[in-house]
Amino acid sequence: MKFEIIPDWRATALALLLLPLVISLGFWQLQRAQEKTELKELYQQRQLAGPVAIESLPAEELHYRAVILRGHFIDDRTLFLDNRISRGQFGYEVVMPFQLQDSAQVVLLNRGWIAGDRSRRSLPSPPPVAALGETVELLGVIYRSQGSLLRLAAEQVGNSWPRVSQSVDVEQMATALQLPLFPHVVRLRDGGPASLRANWMVVNIEPAKHTGYAVQWFAMAVMLLIILVIVNCNIVGVVKQHFKKN
């Protein structure tokens, strides 16, 4: 039984266009899986090292470091991060500037999640941490953004506080606050005196899921190759002729 080669140029061209794209997407997902694995490992290593005073950290070792902060909150400059869902409930993440003790620098602290009004008629009132201007000691983790997620919405650049935004841009917040800000947001550890409900993960998508996506893309590439062979070879017709003869 012989197979006839009957080229289908349109199908061939389409497959040759799609194959490099599909394969590259598979390798991209594998790269993302490796990046997420490295981020989780870095996070674990930095947590095992124990917390240090944020003022003493070298600039090249900021990401995911556990830090100790001493100072007081600037209570009238709260930023609510909108559309944060926790356990199926609508709410916000509460970000507040924190003035470091004996320093001019201010750190944006993410206190965690708080329930919100579904009708959006009012903003929640986060519980106070201490008396106005009272010094407190807190533990947190420096947050490393996984992309262009931190952006302050253009409509939020007015003078009124509190503000609601989908995300926060540290540089724009520094301009809005007119204060020298630490270059990263610090997430408070769960269970501390100022922390609300922790509502975040180290990575938004686990490495195994990226690997699963890569397998799907590579499987699609194999299917394209199979289809390419089928449409360019008169396999079905030859098989029918073979059975008719027999």
Confidence of residue 212 (pLDDT cuts 50, 70, 90): very high
pTM check: above 0.75: no
CB 233 within 8 A of CB 6: yes
What's the rounded mean pLDDT across residues 181-199?
Answer: 87
The C-alpha atoms of residue 177 and residue 171 are separated, in whole angstroms, by: 10
Residue 36: phi and psi, rounded to 5, are -65, -40
Residue 75 burial (CB count, 10 A): 15
Confidence of residue 203 (pLDDT cuts 50, 70, 90): confident
Please state which of the ranges 31-45, 98-112, 224-238 shows the lowest mean pLDDT: 224-238
Q: Look at residue 187 and tell me whether its pLDDT is greater than 60.
A: yes
* Per-residue model confidence (pLDDT) at position 157: 45
Which pair of tokens denotes residue 70?
Answer: 């001493």
DSSP-derived 3-state class of residue 193: coil
Q: List beta partners, residue 81.
A: 93, 165
Confidence of residue 241 (pLDDT cuts 50, 70, 90): low
Q: Report the greatest alpha carbon distance in the chain.
A: 95
State the sign of the Cα–Cα–Cα–Cα dihedral 130, 134, 136, 142: positive
Q: Which residue has the higher pLDDT, 140 or 203?
A: 140
| Portion of the chain with pLDDT greater than 70, in percent | 82
Helices (H), the chain: 9-48, 170-177, 207-232, 235-245
CB 70 within 8 A of CB 137: yes
Residue 31: phi and psi, rounded to 5, are -65, -40
What's the rounded mean pLDDT across residues 100-110?
Answer: 91
Which pair of tokens denotes residue 135?
Answer: 């010094």
* Per-residue model confidence (pLDDT) at position 243: 54
Q: Look at residue 154 and tell me whether its pLDDT is greater than 50.
A: no
* Per-residue model confidence (pLDDT) at position 242: 52
CA 77 vs. chain centroid, Å, equals 25
Q: Which residue has the higher pLDDT, 227 or 149?
A: 227
Q: List beta partners, residue 138.
A: 69
Q: Look at residue 103 and tell me whether its pLDDT is greater than 50.
A: yes
* Per-residue model confidence (pLDDT) at position 49: 79
What b-and-e string marks burial along 208-237, b requiring 16 or more CB atoms within 10 Å of the CB? eebbebbeebbebbeebeeebeebbbbeee
* Per-residue model confidence (pLDDT) at position 227: 80
* CA contacts within 13 A on the Cβ side of 188: 29
Q: Angle between the 9-48 and 207-232 helix axes, to the nearest 10 degrees?
A: 170
* Per-residue model confidence (pLDDT) at position 220: 93
Residue 226: phi and psi, rounded to 5, are -65, -45
CB 98 within 8 A of CB 139: no
